[in-house]
Copies of this chain bind each other. A is one copy, B any other.
Amino acid sequence: MIAETPEIPYYAVIFTSLRTDGDNGYGAMADEMDELAKQQPGYLGIESARNELGITISYWRSLDDIKNWKANTRHLVAQKTGRDKWYEHYKVRICKVERDYEF
């Protein structure tokens, strides 16, 4: 769903990816990471969609919160397995949300 984020400024991590074939444990780890991310300090929400291209955007209070989540031990395992097994190619973009509006 559309994340209910607070007043600007806050931060977004855009993760765009192309998967390899097969699940290879990806689904279970993705669910675990969704749950774990929610428990981190500064977590604000997540939005996700996938066709051929997958896009996941997580929202955070600060750059330090993003850094801490990236260094989370279990998340480091997921990142390494991602490079070894699940992703053909991915790109991560760390962004400051400077303006937002909705309808």
Residues of A whose CB lies within 8 Å of any CB of B are 1-3, 5, 12, 14, 16-18, 47-55, 57, 63, 82-83, 87, 89-103
Q: Supply 30 A–B pairs (Cβ within 8 Å), ascending by A.
A: A1-B18, A2-B18, A2-B53, A2-B89, A3-B91, A12-B14, A14-B14, A14-B57, A16-B57, A47-B53, A48-B53, A48-B55, A49-B50, A49-B51, A50-B51, A51-B51, A55-B57, A87-B103, A89-B102, A89-B103, A91-B100, A91-B103, A92-B102, A94-B97, A94-B98, A94-B99, A95-B95, A95-B96, A96-B96, A96-B98
Closest 4 CB pairs of A and B: A95-B95, A49-B49, A91-B102, A94-B99
